[in-house]
Copies of this chain bind each other. A is one copy, B any other.
Amino acid sequence: MINIAIMGHGVVGSGVAEVIFSHSDSIEKKAKRKINIKYILDLRDFPNLAYSDRFIKDFSIILNDPDIKVVAEVMGGVNPAFDFVKSCLLAGKSVVTSNKELVAAKGAELLKIAQDNNVNFLFEASVGGGIPVLRPMAQCLNANEITEIYGILNGTTNFILTKMVKENLSFDVALKMAQDLGYAERNPDADVLGHDACRKICILAALGFGKHVYPEQVETEGITKISLDDVDYADKLGYVIKLIGSAKRLDENKISASVYPALVSHNNMLSGVNDVYNAVSVKGDAVDDVMFYGRGAGKFPTASAVVADIIDCVKHLSARKYLSWDEGFDGYVEKLENTPTKLYVHLEKCNERTLDEIKALFDATEILNNGIAKEIVFITKKDIEKALREKIGKITSATVKSVLHVI
C-alpha cells in the first residue's frame, strides 16, 4: 500500500478522490499496489463525506509525514501552490498537478528540483484535461524532432465560438450561456482573454522544444472582439473562427508562440472541433501531423488524468520519468510581427476603388465583396506580419473594421 495526499478539494480534487475510490481495484492492478488517500488538504470543512476524517488544514502534516510518497496538487493558482509543491519535491515526494498556471510560470524550476531530488513532477492534466497529450509527445514522438504545435486549447472559448458560428448568437449571449452551463466563470477573463490557452501553449512549447516559455513572452489575444459579421464572412470563404494557441520552432534558439482567434479552413480537422472539446495538433519531422482530441476540461476527465499520473508516480517511485526542459531566456520567442502569416482583412465604407487597391497591394485571391453593405473581406497571401500590416495601413478607399490571422 502507498499513501498519498491530495491538496485541494474543489472540482478536480473531489474528482480525484472519487476516481480513486470508485476504481480502487483496477487502479491497484495497474499500480501494482493499493493507493490510499491519507490526507486531503482544504481550508473548508466537508463534514458529510464518507471520507471526512481525512481532511486536514495544515500543509506541514503532509510535508512532515514520511509515509506520503506522492502528492496531488489540485488547488490551482501559483500561490501557495508553488511553495507547497517545491517543499514536497525537496522532501523527496513526487508531485502531480493539474495546475497549468503553476507549470507555465514555474515548470522549469520545479522539474529541476524534481530531478535533483530524484522524484517525479508530472502534469498531464494541465493541458487538454483528460486528453493524453504531454506523455504521448514526450514518449511516443521521441524519435521525431517536433517542429510545430497548435490547437484549440480552451473549451470555454470554443463553446462560445461554436454557439456564434452554429447558432448565430452574439459573443455576449454565448458567454452568458456558457456561464449558465457552468463552462465559464463569473469572471470569464482568464478564458475569453486567452490567458488559459496561453498557459497551455507555454507548457506544450516547453515540452516540445525543450526550453521554458513564459506566459508574458506569448502575445495573446482573446475572442471578445469577434463579431458575427466576421463569423459569417469567414464561413462564406470556407473558414471557421477558432481560438488557436500555436508554437513553431524557428531555429535552435528561437520559436514563435502566440494565442489569437484565427480563421481555420473547413479542410482542417480543427474546424470540426466544437463545443467544449479541445484538440492539439503536433507536427513531427517523421510522423507529420498527429492530433489529440477530446474533452479539454471537466471534473472527471481532468481527474482521470491526475490519477493516471499518480499511478505512474507509484510505479516509478525510484525512477525518474522522461519529462524535463531547460530554463527559457529573453528573446527566445520571436515577435509575432516578424513571423510569416496570412491575414483576413475586413473593410467597411468601401468605394469603387477599393477592389483595385486590394489587388494592387496584396495580390489577394480570396475576396468577398458585399456591395450592399459596402464591405469587402479578403485573405492575404502569406508574408511577414509587419509587412502585411503596413500594407493594410496604406488602404485609403475604405476603413479597416477587423484583422484576423488565418492558419
Contact = CB atoms under 8 A, between A and B. Distances in A.
Interface of A: 19, 23, 26-27, 30, 124, 129-132, 135-136, 139-145, 269, 272-273, 284, 286-295, 298, 300-301, 303-308, 310-312, 315, 319, 322
B269 A284 contact: no
Contact of A140 (B143, B273, B305): B305
B272 A312 contact: no
Contact of A288 (B145, B289, B295, B315): B295
Given A132-B136, A140-B124, A291 B288 contact: no
A23 B284 CA distance: 12
Nearest to A268: B272
A130 to B, nearest CB: 4
A142 B144 CA distance: 25
A167 to B, nearest CB: 15
B301 A19 contact: no
Contacts of A132: 132, 136, 139-141, 290
Given A272-B272, A293-B293, A142 B287 contact: no
Given A23-B143, A287-B304, A288-B294, 20 more contacts: A23-B144, A23-B286, A30-B322, A130-B287, A130-B288, A132-B139, A132-B141, A135-B135, A142-B311, A143-B305, A143-B306, A143-B307, A143-B310, A269-B269, A269-B293, A288-B298, A288-B300, A290-B293, A291-B291, A293-B293
A275 to B, nearest CB: 11
Nearest to A304: B286
A287 to B, nearest CB: 4
A309 to B, nearest CB: 9
A315 B132 CA distance: 21
A145 B26 CA distance: 8
Nearest to A312: B139
Contact of A304 (B26, B129, B136, B144): B144
A37 to B, nearest CB: 14
A198 B174 CA distance: 44
A189 to B, nearest CB: 27
Contact of A136 (B140, B291, B295, B300): B140
Nearest to A306: B143
Contacts of A300: 286-288
Contact of A141 (B272, B304, B306): B304
A304 B284 CA distance: 9
A74 to B, nearest CB: 14
Contacts of A144: 23, 304
